Amino acid sequence: MRWLLVFAGVGSKACFVYFERGGVMRPSSCLAVIDYAEGKTVWIGEAPMKVWGLDELRSALSEGEFQDNAGPAC
């Protein structure tokens, strides 16, 4: 199993990390939102497709591609 950081971003109170988990056969595209002021994860979601940049990530989020009920994959 491998983890690959694709990109991340930071705001005034929270940050996000977009990463891939898995191998060639069963990759998962994962997004984690972290409230670093509180020191806890706010949300983790998984998408069936890979995004290549911030605009694609925003589009995938607005279209509901990321599901937060993915289970233990992310």
Query: What's the pLDDT tens digit per position in 14-60?
Result: 999 999 887 666 678 899 999 998 999 999 999 888 888 999 999 99
CB 21 within 8 A of CB 70: no
Interacting residues of 17 by C-beta distance below 8 A, sequence separation 6+: 5, 8, 31, 32, 34
pTM over 0.85: no
**Is residue 30 within a helix (H) or strand (E), and if so which, with residue range?**
strand 28-35
> What pLDDT is stored for residue 59 in this prediction?
95
> What pLDDT is stored for residue 49 in this prediction?
84
Domain residue spans of the chain? 1-25
Q: What is the Cα–Cα distance from 35 to 19, expressed in whole angstroms?
A: 17
